[in-house]
C-alpha cells in the first residue's frame, strides 16, 4: 500500500468496529423479533403443506446464491489468515488474525439473518398470491368455503405485513450501519484493488482472490436490497386474474384492503431499500473511488505513466464535454419540480455558469498545481527529517492548534462532499441511465470545487508547521549552553529560507485558482443566502430542509474561512516575535 494511503485501514476498521459493536449490543431486540417470525413461518409452512404449494423458484435461487456468497466470504476471511499468517509461524499474529477475521464475518452473517427473515415473508406473500388465484379460478369450491379461505388469507397477509414492518424497524439502524460499512469497504478496496492490479509485486492468484472476495461481498449485499424489493412487489402484486363475474363481497373487500396497504421498507425512515437505490449507491461508490484514485495519481508525483496520462486526459475531456449537458438537464428538472420566482431561476443559471467556468479553469490549470506539489515533496522530506532530529515525531509533535485546524478542515471537507452526494442521491426520481450519468458527473464535479482548495490549505499547513518547528527549536537553541545546539542554526536558517521560497511559489501558482475559487464562493454564498431567505419565509419548505440548508451554508463558510485563516497562521509563524529573548542570549 502506498505510504500516503496508510490511513485507509484505520478508517475501514473503525467503521467495522462501530458496526460490529452495534450488532452485538442490539442482539436482544432482534432475537425477540425472530421468535415472532418463527411462529408465522410455521403457519406458512403448514398452509403450504396443506395446499400442496411449493417455494417460488426465484426465491429458491436467491437463497442458494445468498448461502454461497455467505459461505465463500466467511471461509475466505478465515483461510486468508491461515494461509498468510501460517508462513510467518507466529502464533500471536495467527491468533490476532483469526480473532479479527472471525469478527469480520459477523458483518456478513448478520445480513444473512436479515435476508432469511425477509425471504420467509416473501415466501408467505407469494403463497397468498398463488392461493388467491386458485380460489378465484376454482369452480368446485362453494362460496362459503371461498369466503373462509379468503378470511384466512387476509389474516395471513396482515400478519406478514406487520412482521415485515417489525423486521424493517429492528434491523433498520443495523442495516444503515452495515450499508455505511459496505460503502467504505467498496470505495477503499476498489481504489486499492485498481492500484494493486497494475503492480507486479503481488501474484496473479492474490489479485484474483481479492477481486473474487470483493465481488462476492457486493453480490451478497445486493441480495439484501433485492429481497426487500421482492417483498414489496409480492405484497402488492396486481390481481389481473380476478374477473368481474367472480367478484364477491369478501373478494372485493380483500382486494380493496390489499391495494390500500402499501409496504414501504424505509431504512430508519430515510430511504427505501430497492434495486434503484442500490444502483445509485454503486454510482456513488464509483465517484468516490475515482476521487481516491486521482489522489493517488497526484501523490505519486504526477503523470509518470501512459495509463495515468491517458486517464487524466480522458477524464478531463469527458467532464468538460458532458458537464454543460448535465447542467442543462438539471435545470430542466429544477423547473419541472415546482413553480419558482423568476429571480430564483436567474440566480440558479448564474450559479451553474460560474461553477462551470471555475471547473473549466481548474482542469486546464492542473499541470501548474501538480508542479507546485512536486516542489513541496523535497521540502516535506527535509522538514520531516529536521522534526525527527529535533525530537518532534509525527503528528503528535505538531502544535495542538495546527492539529485542530487540520481536523476541522477535514471535517468540513468531508461534510460538504458527503452531504452533496446524499442530496444528489435522494433527488433522483427514477433509476435510468440519464439519472445515473447525471449523478456521476455532478458528484465528481462538486468534489472538484471542494478538493482543489484543500491542496492549497495542506501546502500552507505544512509550511506553517515548518515555521513553527523552526521557532520552537530556535527558542531551545538560544537558551542552550551547548555549542552543538548552536551549530544547528545553519540548518534552521536553510529550512526557514526553503519554507519561505516555497510559500511564495505556491501562492504565486495557486493565486489565479484561489481568486477564481473566491469568486465562486462569493457567488454561491450570496445566492444561497438569498435562497435560504426565500425558501424559509416565502415558499412552503420542510423544516428538515431548512435546517440542512442552514447547516450546509455555515459549514461551507467555515470551510473557506479556514483557508484564509491558514494564510494568516503561516505569515504569523514566519514573522514570529522573539520577545522572550534577552540581550545576553543574542550573539
In a domain, 332, yes or no: yes
Q: Are residues 329 and 203 in the same domain?
A: no
Q: Are residues 245 and 339 in the same domain?
A: no
In a domain, 31, yes or no: yes
In a domain, 478, yes or no: yes
The most confident of the ranges 71-75, 203-207, 362-366, 543-547 is: 71-75
Q: Are residues 504 and 407 in the same domain?
A: yes
Per-residue DSSP letter, 473: H
pTM above 0.85, yes or no: no
Q: Are residues 318 and 200 in the same domain?
A: no
What pLDDT, in 10s, does the model give residues 374-428? Answer: 777 777 777 777 777 766 665 666 788 888 888 888 888 888 877 777 676 666 6
**Mean per-residue pLDDT, 13-41:** 77
Q: Are residues 420 and 504 in the same domain?
A: yes
Q: Are residues 365 and 413 in the same domain?
A: yes
Q: Are residues 195 and 334 in the same domain?
A: no
Q: Are residues 239 and 303 in the same domain?
A: no
**Mean per-residue pLDDT, 209-237:** 82
Domain range for 166 is 20-55+114-263
Name the percent of the chain lying above pLDDT 70: 67
48 Cβ partners below 8 Å, 6+ apart?
54, 55, 127
Q: What does the pLDDT read at residue 166?
A: 83
What pLDDT, in 10s, does the model give residues 471-524? Answer: 877 777 766 666 665 566 777 777 788 888 888 888 887 887 788 788 877 877
**Mean per-residue pLDDT, 544-566:** 84
In a domain, 449, yes or no: yes
486 Cβ partners below 8 Å, 6+ apart?
477, 480
**Mean per-residue pLDDT, 114-136:** 84
**Mean per-residue pLDDT, 282-306:** 60
In a domain, 109, yes or no: no
Q: Are residues 433 and 565 in the same domain?
A: yes
The radius of gyration computed from the CA coordinates of the chain, to the nearest angstrom, equals 30
Q: Are residues 138 and 42 in the same domain?
A: yes
User: H-type helices in 338-432, by residue range?
Assistant: 342-364, 366-390, 400-427
Q: What does the pLDDT read at residue 584?
A: 47
Q: Are residues 197 and 340 in the same domain?
A: no
Q: What does the pLDDT read at residue 237?
A: 72
What pLDDT, in 10s, does the model give residues 411-422? Answer: 888 888 777 776
| Distance from the Cα of residue 226 to its chain's centroid | 20
Nearest to 264 by CA among 173, 164, 129, 178: 164
Q: How many domains does the chain have?
A: 2
Residue 338, phi then psi, degrees to nearest 5: -165, 175
The span from the CA of 239 to the CA of 237, in Å, is 6
Question: Which pLDDT band, with edges at 50, 70 and 90, does 453 fall under?
Answer: confident
Q: Are residues 168 and 295 in the same domain?
A: no
Cα dihedral angle (477, 478, 481, 485), rounded to 10 degrees?
A: 20
339-343, 448-452, 499-503, 560-564: least confident range: 339-343
Mark which of 245, 263, 281 sits at the end of a domain.
263
Amino acid at each position: 500500500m502506498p505510504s500516503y494511503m496508510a490511513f485507509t485501514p484505520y478508517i475501514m476498521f473503525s467503521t467495522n468496529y462501530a458496526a460490529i459493536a452495534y450488532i452485538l449490543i442490539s442482539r436482544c431486540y432482534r432475537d425477540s423479533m425472530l421468535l415472532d417470525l418463527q411462529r408465522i413461518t410455521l403457519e406458512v409452512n403448514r398452509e403450504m403443506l396443506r395446499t400442496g404449494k411449493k417455494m417460488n423458484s426465484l426465491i429458491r435461487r436467491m437463497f442458494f446464491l445468498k448461502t454461497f456468497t455467505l459461505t465463500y466470504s466467511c471461509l475466505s476471511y478465515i483461510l486468508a489468515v491461515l494461509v498468510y499468517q501460517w508462513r510467518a509461524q507466529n502464533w500471536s499474529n495467527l491468533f490476532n488474525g483469526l480473532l479479527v477475521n472471525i469478527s469480520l464475518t459477523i458483518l456478513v452473517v448478520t445480513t444473512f439473518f436479515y435476508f432469511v427473515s425477509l425471504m420467509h415473508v416473501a415466501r408467505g406473500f407469494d403463497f397468498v398470491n398463488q392461493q388467491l388465484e386458485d380460489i378465484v379460478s376454482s369452480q368446485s369450491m362453494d362460496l362459503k368455503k371461498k369466503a373462509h379461505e379468503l378470511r384466512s388469507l387476509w389474516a395471513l397477509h396482515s400478519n406478514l405485513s406487520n412482521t415485515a414492518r417489525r423486521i424493517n424497524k429492528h434491523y433498520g439502524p443495523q442495516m444503515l450501519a452495515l450499508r455505511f460499512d459496505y460503502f467504505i469497504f467498496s470505495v477503499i478496496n476498489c481504489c486499492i484493488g485498481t492500484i494493486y492490479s497494475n503492480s507486479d509485486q503481488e501474484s496473479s492468484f492474490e489479485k484474483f482472490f481479492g477481486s473474487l472476495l470483493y465481488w462476492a461481498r457486493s453480490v451478497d449485499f445486493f441480495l439484501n436490497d433485492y429481497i426487500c424489493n421482492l417483498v414489496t412487489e409480492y405484497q402488492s402484486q396486481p390481481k389481473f386474474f380476478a374477473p368481474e363475474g367472480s367478484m364477491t363481497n369478501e373478494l372485493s373487500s380483500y382486494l380493496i384492503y390489499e391495494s390500500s396497504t402499501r409496504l414501504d421498507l424505509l431504512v430508519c425512515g430515510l430511504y427505501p431499500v430497492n434495486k434503484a437505490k442500490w444502483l445509485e449507491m454503486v454510482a456513488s461508490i464509483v465517484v468516490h473511488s475515482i476521487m481516491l484514485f486521482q489522489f493517488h495519481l497526484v501523490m505519486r508525483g504526477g503523470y509518470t505513466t501512459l495509463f495515468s496520462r491517458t486517464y487524466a486526459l480522458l477524464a478531463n475531456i469527458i467532464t468538460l464535454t458532458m458537464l454543460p449537458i448535465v447542467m442543462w438537464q438539471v435545470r430542466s428538472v429544477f423547473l419541472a419540480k415546482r413553480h419558482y420566482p423568476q429571480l430564483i431561476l436567474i440566480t440558479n443559471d448564474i450559479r451553474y455558469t460560474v461553477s462551470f467556468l471555475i471547473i473549466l479553469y481548474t482542469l486546464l490549470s492542473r499541470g501548474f498545481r501538480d508542479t507546485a506539489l512536486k516542489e513541496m515533496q523535497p521540502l516535506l522530506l527535509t522538514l520531516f527529517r529536521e522534526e525527527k532530529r529535533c525530537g518532534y515525531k509525527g503528528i503528535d509533535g505538531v502544535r495542538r492548534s495546527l492539529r485542530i485546524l487540520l481536523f476541522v478542515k477535514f471535517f468540513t471537507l468531508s461534510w460538504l462532499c458527503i452531504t452533496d452526494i446524499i442530496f444528489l442521491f435522494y433527488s433522483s426520481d427514477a433509476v435510468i441511465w440519464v439519472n445515473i450519468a447525471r449523478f456521476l458527473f455532478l458528484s465528481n464535479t462538486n468534489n472538484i470545487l471542494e478538493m482543489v482548495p484543500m491542496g492549497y490549505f495542506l501546502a500552507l499547513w505544512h509550511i506553517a508547521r515548518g515555521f513553527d518547528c523552526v521557532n520552537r527549536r530556535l527558542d531551545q537553541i538560544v537558551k542552550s549552553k551547548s555549542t552543538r545546539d548552536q551549530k544547528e542554526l545553519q540548518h534552521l536558517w536553510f529550512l526557514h529560507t526553503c519554507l519561505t521560497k516555497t510559500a511564495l511559489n505556491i501562492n504565486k501558482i495557486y493565486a489565479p485558482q484561489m481568486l477564481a475559487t473566491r469568486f465562486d464562493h462569493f457567488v454561491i454564498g450570496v445566492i444561497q443566502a438569498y435562497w435560504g431567505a426565500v425558501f424559509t419565509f416565502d415558499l412552503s419548505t420542510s423544516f428538515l430542509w431548512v435546517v440542512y440548508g442552514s447547516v450546509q451554508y455555515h459549514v461551507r463558510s467555515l470551510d473557506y474561512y479556514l483557508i484564509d485563516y491558514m494564510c494568516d497562521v503561516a505569515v504569523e509563524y514566519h514573522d514570529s516575535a522573539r520577545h522572550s529573548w534577552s540581550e545576553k542570549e543574542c550573539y
